[in-house]
Amino acid sequence: MAAPIIRMTVLGTLARIIILGSRYTQTLADRIELSTPVTSWKLMTEGVFLLDHGISPYEGDNFHQPPLLLYLFFVIHKTAPSLIPLVFLFLDLTTAFLLYEVSKHLLRYLLNEQIREGPSYAKDVDVLLIKRASLSSIPGLVLSIYLLNPFSILTCAAQSTSIINNLMIASTFLLTLKGQRISATLTLALASYQSLYPVMLIVPSAMHLAFLKMQERKETISYSSRTAVSAILFTVGSFLIWCFILLGVSYTMLESWDFVRSTYGFTLSVTDLKPNLGLFWYYFMEMFEHFRIFFLWVFQVHAFIYTLPLAIVLWKCPSFVFFCQLILMAVFKSYPSLGDTTVYFALLPVWSHAFHYLRNGLVISVMIVISVVLAPVLWHLWIYAGSANANFLFAFTLIYSTAQIFLVTDLIFAFLRRSFSLQHGMKALKPDGTEKLVKLQ
């Protein structure tokens, strides 16, 4: 496997270097599909310029990225500005290899769970089982998908700071799987500090760490046990402490809390209605002002409300809850971009053992391809040619979001149907529990 991994790494690196060194970098940085007000490199350079001239970037209404990130690029810009493209390249490649490690550890964990529960499985479920060969083949596929995914390549070339958020999320996933609570909560706090929405990942992360603690002590799995409750509280407490430290350091650096309004307040209030791939901009552009606050709550709650139901239904597999939350964040966050999809796209093969029950794979694929290809065309027709309007663009952003909703619902159905079939066999059951003769397809 070493040779294919090296080839994929070289190809992915070369693709990024070629585009980063081309004259299209600035064009990509301005694309609404790749950059948003909270991830734009152009706005980051404006913030660095203001800071360099002794002006707080948070006094106006144009800069919306957190202080630690601002000071990081301020230091790089002052010391070695020519290295900035290499910094983004390095961070993106690091994310790819972290996802490679995530897939290895996750598959190993799932395989061990399968071995532990194997005696209770039905006899006709071989097609649903995780094969040992997957431990060597799927991680390489995960790495290849991330490195060669056009979305990740273009996001890197646009120098979007969503790359840093992806790095923190991948680190959190890996450290959670390894059971390293303090480090996992630190990286999750950093991800939440940057873009707020990853805060919901504390639920599956805490659940998995509690799961590992109960397994370590060879206890019966129960989240109401003293071991589980103490582990969850310790994880949540550690996460909150890291968040308070990050906010405290930011306040110390700026001697002001203005950044809270300009970052998290901006994300939640959605005051910039420039078109993007999300659901917010069109609705709030067309909405009467006196309805705004109500629907703002409705939209924002959607990003968080599914965490608890997923945790309840999928309590036996917190890692799958973590994965589903990545898709929901990419759909319901106020300023999404193509970069938000790259982590979960890469990790899709890890759940290939549930693909037997997927129902809408072709429809979802076609919807994503069509929306991604035609959205830039409709943007050009609307803004430059003047032969279209906002309805045309929003139609395809709506298709893009709907495709991702279909994807997560299809994956959850497939996961639950597989879990049921492992215990009861692959034959359909009548309402009274007796078997039918026709097998599910």
Per residue of the chain (441 residues), give pLDDT as tens: 577 888 888 999 999 999 988 888 888 888 999 999 999 999 999 999 999 998 989 988 889 999 999 999 999 998 998 899 999 999 999 999 999 999 999 999 999 999 999 888 988 888 999 999 999 899 999 999 999 999 999 999 999 999 999 999 999 999 999 999 999 999 999 999 999 999 999 999 999 999 999 988 888 888 888 999 999 999 999 999 999 999 999 999 998 899 999 999 999 999 999 999 999 999 898 888 888 999 999 999 988 999 999 999 999 999 999 999 999 999 999 999 999 999 999 999 999 999 999 999 999 999 999 999 998 999 999 988 888 888 999 999 999 999 999 999 999 999 999 999 998 888 755 545 454 544 434
Token pair belonging to 352: 């290939």
The answer to whether 328 and 198 are in contact (CB under 8 A) is no
CB 31 within 8 A of CB 40: no
At residue 1, the pLDDT reads 56
- pLDDT (0 to 100) of residue 288: 83
Question: What local confidence, expressed as pLDDT, does residue 21 receive?
Answer: 86
Q: Residue 290 CB: number of other CB atoms within 10 A? A: 7
* C-alpha dihedral (163, 167, 170, 175), degrees to nearest 10: -170
Long-range contacts of 408-413 (CB under 8 A, 24+ apart): 408/324, 408/327, 408/328, 408/331, 410/358, 410/359, 410/360, 410/361, 410/364, 411/324, 411/327, 411/351, 411/354, 411/358, 412/310, 412/313, 412/314, 412/324, 413/357, 413/359
Distances (CA, A) of 407 to 81, 181, 324, 417: 40, 30, 10, 15
In this prediction, residue 324 carries a pLDDT of: 96
Please, what's the b/e burial string for 337-374 (b: 16 or more CB within 10 A of its CB; e: otherwise)? bbbbbbbbbbbbbbbbbbebbbeeeeebeebbeebbeb
Rounded to whole angstroms, the Cα distance separating 326 from 39 reads 17
Q: Tell me the pTM.
A: 0.94
* pLDDT recorded at residue 403: 96
* Residue corresponding to tokens 């930011």: 250
What is the rounded distance in angstroms from the CA atom of residue 225 to the CA atom of residue 237? 18
**Phi (first) and psi of residue 292, to 5 degrees:** -60, -50
Residue 418 · residue 354 · CB < 8 Å: yes
User: Tokens 């550890």 appear where?
Assistant: 105
What pLDDT score was predicted for residue 440? 39
Full DSSP string of 74-136: HHHHHH-GGGHHHHHHHHHHHHHHHHHHHHHHHHHHHHHHHHHHGGGS-SS-GGGSPPTTHHH
- The residue assigned the tokens 């949540």 is 236
Q: Residue type at 272? A: D
Q: Which residue's structure tokens are 């659901």?
A: 279
Please state the separation of Cα 272 from the chain's center in Å.
22
